[in-house]
Amino acid sequence: MARYSKEERRKLLKEALAENPFFTDEELSERFIVSVSTIRLDRGELGIPEVRERTRAVAQEAYSTLKSLDDQELIGELMELVIGERACSKLVVDESMVLTKARVARGHYLFAQANSLAIALVDAKMALTGSVELKFIRPVQLGEVVLAKGVVLKRKLNKYWVEIRLSVGAEDVLCGNWVLFAIEDPAGIRGEME
Amino acid sequence: MARYSKEERRKLLKEALAENPFFTDEELSERFIVSVSTIRLDRGELGIPEVRERTRAVAQEAYSTLKSLDDQELIGELMELVIGERACSKLVVDESMVLTKARVARGHYLFAQANSLAIALVDAKMALTGSVELKFIRPVQLGEVVLAKGVVLKRKLNKYWVEIRLSVGAEDVLCGNWVLFAIEDPAGIRGEME
């Protein structure tokens, strides 16, 4: 027997997707203990598009927010960006990113995903990384999907403290603290990092 | 008047190039206060090839020493490698590495040069980065040549402490400390970084 009435379920479904638009139909079907086709029907009734389309819409909004980087300069796929607050990106580890011998992602790809997300969080035309302390927690295998989450911990004038955490599923794979500098005039960047 | 007799100068020239094969004829001419053509003549007499050829020979030797990385996995051009001791590489910052707006090298390219040099220093079939503390000292402009120098500070079983310093001319641009792990069996890498 289903746990919720149809009306209840649709209300909760709408709320769940408003909070996290990345839930798949499969995940929702487990959550509400109904079949995947019931979830599809619910979405149809509620006028909510499928997850791929929802992700695209969210990503477009996130990309349009980018200020300190160009679209193609962010490593990974941007999923959320509230400049000065928090951001999220996704990177699928492909053949080009792994070490030949070990088949695990090379450190600088994970660094690039984290570093470019940290830069995206800075509210300025440009940002430079000042210092970084980071820890690689476990290697990332070919084909794994790395989710990066960034949070601005503190800001003082043009200086930002950002925490970045990379995970695969429920496991953290990298975490680190970045100090960055907002630069309003790209022509005068020399010496501004002191 | 020249500072040294021809015999003295040739002896010193040979010693200087044995220690640092990357001296150009121009640098040597300043060092010995003679003309560039005198230096060329000296080299001819001593059977020492020109700097480009010497660099190539040294690089080939360095690449043949690589163990924990494949040739093309090292970012930059390897110039020296004594595994477990010290290494040196060179990276010319080209158009593909700079930020569109600021025309300075993106952080992850410098990280990649440093990180891959640190990995090359580990005496094992494979190495993984455990943690890194690094500081970007000044931005690197398009066209600048970045020299990376790495030194193994300490080693304990499969754990390495490596210092990496990147410079452009006489100026440091990045410095950092790496902790790395040597992995002899690439199949068993999960959980070895604890």
pLDDT tens across the length of chain B (194 residues): 567 899 999 999 999 888 777 788 998 999 899 999 999 999 999 999 888 888 777 777 777 778 888 777 899 999 999 999 999 999 999 999 998 877 899 999 999 999 999 999 999 988 889 999 999 999 999 999 999 999 999 999 999 999 999 999 889 999 999 999 998 775 655 444 43
Counting the structural domains of chain B, the total is 2
Strands (E), chain B: 77-82, 86-92, 126-136, 145-156, 159-168, 171-183
The span from the CA of A39 to the CA of B137, in Å, is 53
pLDDT of residue B191: 45
The shortest C-alpha distance from B68 to chain A (Å) reads 9
Shared domain check, B21 and B80:
no
Which residue from B minimizes the CA distance to A133? B133
Which of A70, A133, A139 comes nearest B128 by C-beta?
A139
Q: What gap in Å lies between CA A141 and CA A104, rounded to an integer?
A: 4
Same domain? For B19 and B81 the reply is no
Instruction: Tell me the average pLDDT across A92-108.
Output: 88
**Are both A32 and A95 inside the same structural domain?**
no
Same domain, A41 and A120: no
Residue B96 maps to a domain: yes
Domain-located, residue A54: no
Answer yes or no: is B143 within a domain. Answer: yes
Residues B44, B107 within the same domain: no
- Give domain status of residue A62, yes or no: no
- A126: chain B residues, CB-CB within 8 Å: 99, 101-102
* Residue whose entry in the numeric block shows the structure tokens 């040196």: B88
Contact assignment for B102 to A190 by CB distance below 8 Å: no
CA distance B83 to chain A (A): 18
In this complex, which of A128, A133, A193 lies closest to B133 when CB atoms are compared? A133
* B56 in any annotated domain: no
Residue B27's CATH number = 1.10.10.10
Query: A160 burial class (0-12, 13-18, 19+ CB within 10 angstroms)?
Result: buried
- Angle between helices A36-46 and A25-32 in degrees, nearest 10: 100
Say yes or no for a CB contact (<8 Å) between B108 and A115.
Answer: yes
Tell me, yes or no, whether B135 lies in a domain. Answer: yes
pLDDT digits (tens, 9 = 90+) for A129-155: 999 999 999 999 999 999 999 999 999
Cα B128 to the center of its chain, rounded Å: 20
**Could you tell me the CA-to-CA distances from B190 to A83, A103, B184 in Å, in that order?**
35, 12, 12
A6-20, A49-63, B79-93, B156-170: segment of lowest average pLDDT = A49-63
Domain-located, residue B53: no
Question: What's chain A's Rg over C-alpha atoms?
Answer: 19
| Mean of per-residue pLDDT scores for chain A | 88
| Domain span at B39 | 6-48
Strand pairing partners for A82? Answer: A86
List residues bridging with B144 in a β-sheet: none
How confident is the model at residue A139, as a pLDDT?
Answer: 93
Same domain for B23 and B103: no
Complex ipTM > 0.90: no
Q: What is the pLDDT of residue A187?
A: 60
**Parallel, antiparallel, or unpaired: how do β-strands B145-156 and B86-92 relate?**
antiparallel
Q: Are residues B92 and B147 in the same domain?
A: yes
A124 and A40 part of one domain = no
A182-193 as b/e, with b when 16 or more CB fall inside 10 Å? bbeebeebeebb
